[in-house]
Structure 1
Amino acid sequence: MKNNSNKSNVGHTIFKPTGVRHEFPKVDLVKQQVTCTVLYKEETYMTVIVDLKNDTVQVQGDVEALGNLSMDKDSFIDMFKYWAKVFIDNGISNPSDYFDEIIKNQS
């Protein structure tokens, strides 16, 4: 007997903001360090300092209390390491201006 189910792969996803956000409050191009934060309702849950020159990551705090509202700790750290490299490699000292410029150029 052959299972001939032709299920559709078509669907949709609804993205709903959770209020959890991440920021890059400090980029030091000379020291090659980027400070990153995870915030929810104006409270900082986790601060990560990515030091590309010394290949280290310092983590203070945790996102566990945010539960399903956010990514897990390792996912945030991976994302922060990626963006730190982008900022340092491209001489971006103000990520907010960088992202604003990208958004402006898309319209």
Structure 2
Amino acid sequence: MKVINRGNEREQLLKAIGQLAYYSYFEVSHYIGEGKRIHKGIVLNQPPVVPDHITFLRSLGLHIFWLDKRGKIHGEQESLRFLERFVSRSGTRGTSLSQ
């Protein structure tokens, strides 16, 4: 999870994008060779301060989520739909999602 605030949001998102690119190439690329698809997402401690950051991240194919103070998951609509499908297929219970 990336902890963002008004002063560090840009830096934290750039760091997250770089980390995801690195991990995709060096850590999990072998799964693609096995015919598996890799889904990438970023979890924040709060909604982005700059709304265009959501659009930017989605344009990169990244899902975007954030948690509220109770730990409930919020996010961009398409990202939440993806997570709902993922959770229902995996049989995970007890996940609290909000649209």
Question: What's the TM-score, normalizing by structure 2?
Answer: 0.29
Higher share in helix: 2
Higher share in strand: 1
Max Rg structure: 1
